Chains A and B, each alone.
Chain A
Amino acid sequence: MVDAFAREREMAVDLVRAALAKGASAAEAYLAEEEELVIEVRDERVEDLKIARERGIGLRVLQGQRLGFAYVTGWSPASFARLAEEAVANAGAASVDPYYTLPPPAVYAQDLDLYDQQMEEVPLAAKIDLALALERAGRDYDPRVRLTESCNYEEHRFRVVLANSQGLVAAYRGSNCGLEAVLVASANGDNETGFHFQYSLKYAALNPEEVGRKAAAKAVQMLGARPITPRRVPVVMDPYVAVNFLGVLAPSFSADAVQKGRSLLADKLEQRVGGRSVNIVDDGLLPGGLASAPFDGEGVPSRRNLLVEQGVLRGFLHNSYTAAKAGTVSTGNAARGSFRSIPTVGTTNFYLAAGDAAPEALLGQVSTGLYLTQVMGMHTANPVSGDFSVGAAGCLIEHGKLTTPVRGITVAGNILDILEAIEACGHDLTFVAGRGAPSILVGRLTISG
């Protein structure tokens, strides 16, 4: 088979050599290329179309026990000398740290099926039709759906090439696409938004009718929503809200956060941190996962890591640096946002595993409570203390049934308390890009309105 990356591998190796020649004791070159297509439709026509290609290189060097980094856009060998000089100069101004290492060559999974040839071959016009179908499905759902806030088709195709001075040279390509709909329903002077989306590795899997209908249904359901008086009640969260809360907890699984004293879970290894139905997994090889990849941001093979098993904390996520510091091995969780950033520790496909219950059965267990379908300001939650107090909207649960829609309420507490109070998980595990959760039933939460 012809190596589609022969030239790129050579460039990466050349850059590593250039860095060593400028005085680096070890070096790692990361070449990335991304093609992006975004189609935004509104009122049955294309409002925005974005077609783009970006390339860049990140260079990480060690000079003894000091780390330096520099990046540049483009893949031009003419930029290598300056890039190498900058990275080495930056290392010279950094602190000494004995735990930096670069991983050796490894064997990677070959069968991940990350690139969708069909996505490349389908013409632009067909993708535009898909976005238009998305909007139509939403607008036709109910006459009260009167506005399109956004209806988008998005796709990303990318290539990654990595080489380091340990002799590691690796490359892969991938692609993903998605549909997003945000619609507004209006009645009696009340305007409410509803959103839904779907992301996939496969173009053929996209279902514009379902995404459009669900976004519309959520907007319509919220019409007539009003605040409620403060109370402390059981709460059922839909998968999207549960994913948002899971996101607050995610940084605490990073060994880097543990080692630096900013993880909520730091001293809780092998202890109970959640209800018995709580299983949390990070799986870099998950079939169909948007964050699946043969290797992580520094070339360590991806793998499945069980983090919480039946409520007990089993482990943390490591890259090469945190692993060396803790005297363990990397879990394949070196995360790299782009060629512009130094690898940190991050999640891949990170999810709260599904339980057995149907979502309706979770509602059925609640005599008086709240079903949450929207949260606002989740980014203000504090991942270090775990405290959050966020805006929310949803629906009252009375005798196991959804009744009156509510909005303008806040939900407050601590993320660890939520984890402990999870009484049951639904069978409807749903992914939002790289994070997933099912519907969950949470014992008690403080609501104010």
Chain B
Amino acid sequence: MPFGLSKEDLAAVLAAALAGGGDFADLFLEERLTTTITCEDDKVERLSTGHDVGAGLRLIFGESTAYAYTNDLTPEGLNALARTVAQAARAGGRRAPVFDLRRQPVPYDLAVQRWPDQVAVGEKVLLVERANAAARREDGRIKQVLVNYGDTVQRVVMANTEGVYAEDERVRTRLAVQAVAMSNGRLQTGYEAVGSFGGLEAFEECRPEAVAAVAARRALLMLEARPAPTGRMAVVMAAEAGGTMIHEACGHGLEADLVQRGLSVYAGRLGEQVAVPLVTVIDDATLAGRYGSFRFDDEATPGEKTVLIERGILRSYMYDRLTARREGRRSSGNGRRESYQFRPIPRMRNTYILPGEHDAEEIIRRTAKGLLVKKMGGGQVNTTNGDFVFDVAEGYLIEGGRVTAPVRGATLTGNGPEVLRTVDMVGGDLGFSIGICGKNGQGVPVSDAQPTMRIPSLVVGGTACED
């Protein structure tokens, strides 16, 4: 009995939540063990472990939702929660449905070898120290190194009034290195992060030294870089740049909550050609080891691979239960939440553009003048009009089909639908990046990926400008 609560206890809480009426209720019980380690200034200075236990209870009545959470997971604590949502709802009318909690079979396995909660903190500290030392070894101009390590073991129990009961465990590890390089009084930073669904085994394949070296070299390169140009030009995004562009330019606009509220440029366009046929976009929870993977989403829906855009045709949005219910369809397993403190909403998982047929090097060779993006930084999108912006963490000029000088301070501004309609070459490679995606104040782990791609014309906002 996880959390010392039987299925009968949970069923009683759900029934109490519906006592005043309502259409649906679900419970989310969570235990989370967290370790974070920070090394800066050559010191392991922040070593923290945390133990979170909490429960969230949701009641849906008509088009409204009431949500409450607590840290008190006794039957009394949960029943108090049920009274809170029942009163808040004041729904009246409907009768509580009869349900019998049945455990959901696990849809597929996501293997974890070395569970973080079974590994001594000293071994994790060693990973951090290896990264710190490696970054500093790169060059004397590396003046400061910040290394962040984090792992979480999250155990959840989910039950709802449709009779669904599921248990899941999510194990994630991540390592991020920020290097600060200084020369002639000018500071530049380089950042690299890796993360996976999995345990400490992730760092055998992806060594801390390698992550640190990438961050340090990026900071050093930016010292040499000249200010980015300003204006419209061709932009080639290398596979290793990661998928921030697809996440911002397209992903958010395909989340069903935004679509249903008319807040997306992709609303009402299912079955239409929204991108050139070179573009197929997938959102996938099932990829082994990827940061955004899981077996069940946070509403007990099994994870799946969802085709969003198939050869340019819009095939599906991303749904949670609430948005799926409005359209009388199944959830696509995109109902996610940051923790028990939040109700689930449609979120991305691992989002990527399928590789195409062009050779990555040929794409550069065929570009007379433009910008090569080797690493993207953060980004943001206004889903209502599709405008997006993201930061170029590592960029180079392309001149005469060749990669020339590194540039710093570039930002790409564009419009999602316009980019998807104008992409003219898609490479055969694929590169992933990880991040914590923020929406409505909730952060969830995701990964994004894309092949090398060319967009014939994007606005590059640099600092180089003639007066």
A residues within 8 Å of B by Cβ?
Answer: 42, 45-56, 67-74, 79, 83, 86-87, 89-91, 93-95, 97, 124, 147, 149, 184, 190-193, 227, 230-232, 259-262, 264, 340-342, 376-377, 379-380, 382, 384-385, 387, 389-391, 407-414, 446, 448-449
Contacts and interface: CB of A to CB of B under 8 A. Distances in A.
B50 A70 contact: yes
A446 B463 CA distance: 6
B467 A69 contact: no
Nearest to B35: A90
24 contacts: A45-B64, A46-B64, A48-B64, A52-B67, A52-B69, A52-B70, A54-B70, A55-B71, A69-B47, A70-B49, A74-B53, A89-B121, A90-B121, A97-B43, A230-B465, A261-B143, A376-B382, A377-B390, A389-B228, A407-B385, A411-B461, A412-B411, A412-B463, A414-B463
A261 B413 contact: no
A408 B459 contact: yes
B224 to A, nearest CB: 14
B45 interface: yes
Contacts of B180: 261-262, 384
A410 B144 contact: no
Contacts of B51: 70-73, 79, 83
Nearest to B264: A191
Contact of A73 (B42, B65, B71, B410): B71
Nearest to A449: B459
Contacts of B405: none
Given A191-B385, A412-B411, 12 more contacts: A51-B84, A69-B49, A231-B465, A340-B52, A379-B378, A385-B186, A385-B222, A389-B391, A391-B413, A408-B415, A446-B461, A448-B230
Nearest to B84: A51
Interface in B152-186: 180, 182, 186
Contacts of B134: none
Interface string B33-54: 0000000111111111111111
B261 interface: yes
A409 B415 CA distance: 11
**Overall SS of chain B's interface:** strand
Contacts of B341: 52, 54
A403 B45 CA distance: 53
Nearest to A191: B384
B379 interface: yes
B66 interface: yes
B68 interface: yes
Contacts of B44: 93-95
A54 B222 CA distance: 44
Contacts of B411: 377, 380, 389-391, 410, 412
B183 to A, nearest CB: 12
Nearest to B462: A412
Contacts of A42: 261
A52 B122 contact: no
A377 B389 contact: yes
Contacts of A95: 42-45
Contacts of A191: 384-385
B428 interface: no
B187 A376 contact: no
B410 A389 contact: yes
A407 B386 CA distance: 12
Given A46-B64, A149-B261, A379-B380, A260 B144 contact: yes
A48 B65 contact: yes
Nearest to B188: A385
Given A70-B49, A261-B144, A391-B411, A385 B121 contact: no
Interface string B377-419: 1111010110111110000000000000000111101010000
A149 B239 CA distance: 34
A47 B378 contact: no
Interface in B117-172: 121-122, 125, 143-144, 146
A54 to B, nearest CB: 6
A132 to B, nearest CB: 13
**Overall SS of chain A's interface:** strand
A79 B53 CA distance: 12
A180 B51 CA distance: 33
Interface of B: 40-54, 63-72, 84-85, 88-89, 121-122, 125, 143-144, 146, 180, 182, 186-189, 222, 228, 230-231, 261-263, 341, 343, 377-380, 382, 384-385, 387-391, 408-411, 413, 415, 459-463, 465, 467
A74 B31 CA distance: 12
B47 A74 contact: no
Contact of B72 (A67, A74, A262): A74
A139 to B, nearest CB: 14
A187 to B, nearest CB: 13
A51 B54 contact: no
A308 to B, nearest CB: 20
B435 to A, nearest CB: 12
A168 to B, nearest CB: 22
Nearest to B120: A93
B69 A260 contact: no
Contacts of B40: 260
Contacts of A390: 389, 411
B189 A412 contact: no
Given A230-B465, A410-B389, A384 B187 contact: yes
Contact of B391 (A47, A67, A380, A407): A380
Contact of A47 (B63, B69, B71, B222): B63
B382 to A, nearest CB: 6
Contacts of B63: 45, 47
A56 B32 CA distance: 14
A414 B89 CA distance: 50
Contacts of A87: 49
A49 B43 contact: no
Given A384-B180, A412-B463, A230 B231 contact: yes
A90 B41 CA distance: 19
A149 B88 CA distance: 23
B45 A48 contact: no
Contacts of A73: 51-54, 71
B453 to A, nearest CB: 20
A389 B231 CA distance: 13
A448 B462 contact: yes
B269 to A, nearest CB: 14
A53 B50 CA distance: 19
Indicate the member of A91, A376, A389 with the most B CB atoms within 10 Å.
A389
A385 B187 CA distance: 5
Contacts of B71: 53-56, 73-74
Contacts of B49: 69-71, 86-87, 90
A262 B231 CA distance: 31
Contacts of B222: 385
A51 B17 CA distance: 14
Nearest to A193: B384
A62 to B, nearest CB: 12
Contacts of A83: 51
A233 to B, nearest CB: 10
Nearest to B461: A410
A79 to B, nearest CB: 8
Which 3 residue pairs of A and B lie closest in terms of their CB atoms, listed nearest first?
A410-B461, A391-B389, A389-B411
B385 A50 contact: no
Nearest to A74: B71
Given A48-B67, A227-B459, A262-B144, A340 B50 contact: yes
Contacts of A411: 461
A49 B231 CA distance: 45
A112 B290 CA distance: 49
A69 B48 contact: yes
A48 B44 CA distance: 43
A410 B459 contact: yes
Contacts of B380: 376-377, 379-380, 391
B88 A380 contact: no
B125 A93 contact: yes
A390 B392 CA distance: 11
